């Protein structure tokens, strides 16, 4: 039986894991951590039974990732069959572990969270966090009691800095330096001569990594139902020098499919050949997903609207990784849509997309004595497409349906009905890194629909639509520059060939879809800036911005002019 499940953490840690793999690449062949230039251990907690796990061998980036998995923030990671989180829960200052490694003298640093003052305990969350800190402090104190008299303990002032305060990293380093300066007298007991120190440092140099050409890419299929998507994203690596950034770019493309909890990689030797071994891990809360969205808008002149959307996605239902999507819309635009994305042949780049779509909305027509219609449109289609690359797609197919326009306001306005059948051709490119507030990339698409009587249309004609958007700017200040257009030729379907402007970013001075016509053009420049701290682990993105827009709709092509914008 199916059940509703959620991700185990706010962040899955994919980018963090890729960073760790890149940083530890020079020692990727080291399996025993005692063989590292500086012998190393890290601590994890088995969240299933609370046991301490000391990592002394295996994958170094995976071990480090497991040992810093702050519960609820970073998702736990499974290693050797055990679900691991941050080891600081049970052993935040592992003095006993270092002593077991044979260390004769210890310099320990305790950076545990300080207990909050009673006046700061103002919510259930703060009280719960205080209880956890008390338990951790009790455990830490018992471990620190094992230090010998000639060991040294450094305790920086960590007030106001917690385990999730990554944005306070620089401040934490500054306080650590201050604490060390206060302990200089104690640190001097461990001093050695300059010659001895130079000798020690020579033995601690990081090995050099010399990238060899990639002879093969091996994608493990034991933990994923769609390893071919990863293989396809990395197909161009073979024959090229082993470049971590190129590998990460390919993995980011595959990870962006939304199917994976994480994707890891490491070099691998096979005889004299060097290749890449990649392990994708499917999401533990899929492959079926349910998402919701809510949009509220108000023009502060008495007109407001809402839009509620619910979408169910069913993935991994066959060996070709097909996907079924069902969508329900309520509000200003009501509708139902069902579609099936079915890849086949040539590594799944070729696909079929059958769909059914039904939409209902109220549409004002200012050009017709302020009439308002109730538009109902039912459409069925079958598209054949090909993914030229991770950014480019081309598709063509047939669409068939009918539309009805019933008068709501305007006694003299006529009801309308039309049937349509058309060929559709589309070409699209999308390299935006985010669909809502992108920081980089661009998007462009071109669509041509050709209505034909023998397909069921009332007349022969064509409708051409195009759009181009590009993001420019820096990390916080960004501009989205874009143009779009729509035009009609011949006697295409009168309802399907209309385009509407109005609403946020689409001539914002008008209500949603207030301006409607057979031809349209819009140019806009949208500025937006994130005003809250993006470096915080728990930070809901919040932006403010403004836009400059120019555009209009026309019923006749000869009316189009710069002056009419």
Residues whose CB falls within 8 Å of the CB of residue 294, separated by 6 or more in sequence, listed in order: 306, 307, 308, 309
- Residue 97: pLDDT above 90? yes
pLDDT at 98: 94
Q: Which two tokens stand for residue 207?
A: 């090995």
Q: Is 237 exposed, middle or buried (0-12, 13-18, 19+ CB in 10 A)?
A: buried
Pick from 294, 255, 341, 250: nearest CA to 13: 255
User: In DSSP terms, which residues pair with 293 in a beta bridge?
Assistant: 309
Give mean pLDDT, residues 159-172.
Answer: 80
81: phi then psi, degrees, rounded to nearest 5: 80, 5
Angle between helices 14-23 and 60-67 (to 10 degrees): 130
**Which domains are seen in the chain, by residue range?**
14-204 (no CATH), 213-282 (3.10.20.310), 409-564 (2.40.160.50)
Residue 365 pLDDT grade (very low, low, confident, very high; cuts 50, 70, 90): low
- Residue whose structure tokens are 């026309």: 554
Confidence at 429, pLDDT banded by 50, 70, 90: very high
Name the burial class of residue 510, with classes exposed (0-12), middle (13-18) and buried (19+) by CB atoms within 10 angstroms of its CB. middle
Bridge pairing between strands 515-517 and 42-46: unpaired
The answer to whether 206 touches 220, Cβ cutoff 8 Å, is no
pLDDT for 298 beyond 80: no
Look at residues 111, 110, 143, 123 and name the one whose alpha carbon lies nearest to residue 131.
123
If you average pLDDT over every residue of the chain, what do you get? 87
User: What is the b/e burial string over 130-160, where b = at least 16 CB atoms within 10 angstroms of the residue's CB?
Assistant: beebeebbebbeebbeebeeebbebbbebee
pTM, two decimal places: 0.71
Q: Which residue has the higher pLDDT, 288 or 402?
A: 402
Beta-carbon count within 10 A of 34 CB: 13
Taking phi over 0 as left and psi of -120 to 50 as alpha, with beta for the rest, 463 belongs to beta
Tens of pLDDT, residues 497-550: 888 888 888 888 887 888 888 899 999 999 999 887 666 655 667 888 999 999
Which three-class secondary structure state does DSSP give residue 169?
helix
Q: Which residues contact 389 (CB under 8 A, 6 or more apart)?
A: none
Residue 437 contacts residue 543 (beta carbons within 8 Å): yes
What's residue 413's pLDDT? 66
Between the alpha carbon of residue 78 and those of residues 44, 230, 474, the distances in Å are 11, 20, 37
Residue 95 φ/ψ, nearest 5 degrees: -60, -45
pLDDT of residue 539: 62
pLDDT of residue 502: 86
Degrees to nearest 5, angle at CA 520 with 440 and 449: 85
> Looking at residue 312, what is its pLDDT?
92
Greatest mean pLDDT among 128-132, 342-346, 439-443, 519-523 lies in: 519-523
Least confident of 305-314, 317-326, 516-525: 317-326
Looking at residue 318, what is its pLDDT? 67
Both tokens assigned to 41: 């251990």
Give the pLDDT mean for 187-205: 91
> 1 pLDDT exceeds 60?
no
DSSP 132-159: HHHHHHHHHHHHHTT--TT-EEE----T
Asked if the model's pLDDT at residue 372 lies above 60, the reply is yes
User: What are 300's two structure tokens?
Assistant: 């502060």
For residues 256 and 34, is the Cβ–Cβ distance under 8 A?
no
- Category of 102 on φ-ψ map: left (φ > 0), alpha (ψ -120 to 50) or beta: left
Q: What is the average per-residue pLDDT within 382-402?
A: 92
DSSP state, residue 436? S
Query: How far is Cα 112 from Cα 127, in angstroms, rounded to an integer?
Result: 17
Q: What is the pLDDT of residue 449?
A: 94
Specify the pLDDT at position 537.
55
Instruction: Note the pLDDT of residue 338.
Output: 97
pLDDT of residue 535: 60
Q: Which residue has the higher pLDDT, 525 or 495?
A: 525
- Range from 101-105, 294-298, 429-433, 535-539 carrying the lowest mean pLDDT: 535-539
**pLDDT of residue 205 exceeding 90:** no
Name the pLDDT band for 332 (thresholds 50, 70, 90). Answer: confident
SS3 of 259-300: CEEEEEEEEEEECCEEEEEEEEEECCCCCEEEEEEEEEEECC
Q: Does the pLDDT of residue 5 top 80, yes or no?
A: no
Q: How many CB atoms lie within 10 A of CB 258?
A: 12
Residue 76 DSSP label: P
């Amino acid at each position: 039986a199916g059940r509703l499940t959620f991700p185990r953490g706010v962040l899955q840690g994919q980018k963090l894991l890729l960073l760790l793999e890149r940083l530890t690449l020079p020692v990727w062949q080291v399996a025993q951590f005692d063989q590292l230039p500086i012998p190393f251990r890290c601590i994890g907690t088995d969240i299933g039974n609370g046991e301490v796990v000391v990592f002394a061998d295996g994958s170094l980036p995976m071990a480090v990732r497991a040992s810093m998995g702050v519960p609820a923030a970073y998702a736990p990671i499974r290693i050797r069959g055990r679900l691991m989180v941050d080891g600081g829960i049970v052993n935040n200052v592992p003095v006993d572990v270092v002593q077991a490694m044979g260390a004769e003298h210890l310099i320990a640093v305790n950076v545990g969270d300080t207990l909050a003052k009673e006046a700061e305990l103002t919510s259930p969350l703060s009280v719960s966090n205080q209880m956890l800190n008390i338990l951790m402090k009790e455990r830490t104190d018992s471990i620190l009691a094992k230090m010998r008299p000639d060991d040294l303990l450094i305790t920086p002032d960590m007030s106001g800095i917690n385990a999730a305060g990554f944005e306070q990293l620089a401040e934490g380093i500054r306080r650590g330096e201050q604490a060390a300066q206060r302990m200089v007298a104690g640190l001097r007991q461990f001093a050695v001569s300059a010659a001895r120190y130079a000798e020690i440092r020579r033995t601690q140099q990081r090995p050099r990594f010399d990238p060899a050409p990639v002879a093969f890419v091996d994608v493990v299929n034991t933990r994923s139902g769609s390893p071919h998507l990863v293989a396809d994203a990395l197909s161009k690596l073979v024959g090229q020098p082993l470049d971590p950034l190129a590998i990460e770019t390919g993995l980011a493309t595959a990870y962006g499919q939304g199917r994976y909890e994480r994707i890891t990689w490491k070099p691998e030797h096979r005889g004299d050949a060097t290749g890449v071994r990649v392990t994708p891990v499917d999401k533990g809360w899929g492959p079926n997903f349910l998402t919701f969205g809510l949009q509220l808008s108000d023009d502060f002149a008495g007109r407001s609207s809402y839009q509620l959307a619910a979408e169910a996605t069913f993935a991994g239902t066959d060996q070709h990784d097909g996907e079924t999507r069902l969508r329900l819309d309520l509000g200003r635009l009501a509708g139902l849509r069902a579609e099936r994305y079915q890849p086949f042949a040539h590594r799944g780049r070729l696909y079929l997309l059958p769909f059914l779509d039904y939409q209902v909305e109220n549409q004002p027509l200012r050009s017709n004595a302020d009439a308002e219609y109730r538009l109902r449109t039912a459409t069925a289609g079958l598209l054949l497409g090909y993914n030229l690359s991770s950014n480019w797609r081309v598709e063509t197919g047939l669409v068939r349906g009918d539309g009805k326009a019933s008068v709501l306001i305007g006694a003299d306005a006529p009801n309308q009905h039309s049937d349509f059948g058309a060929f559709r051709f589309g070409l699209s490119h999308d390299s935006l890194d985010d669909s809502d507030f992108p920081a980089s990339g661009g998007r462009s698409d071109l669509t041509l629909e050709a209505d034909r009587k023998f397909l069921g249309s009332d007349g022969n004609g064509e409708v051409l639509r195009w759009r181009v958007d590009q993001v420019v700017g820096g990390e916080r200040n960004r501009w989205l520059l874009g143009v779009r257009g729509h035009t009609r030729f011949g006697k295409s379907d009168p309802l399907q060939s209309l385009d509407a402007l109005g609403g946020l970013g689409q001539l914002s001075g008008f209500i949603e879809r207030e301006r409607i016509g057979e031809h349209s053009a819009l140019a806009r420049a949208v500025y937006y800036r994130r005003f809250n701290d993006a470096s915080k682990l728990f930070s809901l993105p919040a932006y403010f911005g403004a836009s400059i827009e120019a555009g209009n709709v026309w019923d006749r092509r000869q009316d189009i002019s710069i002056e009419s914008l």
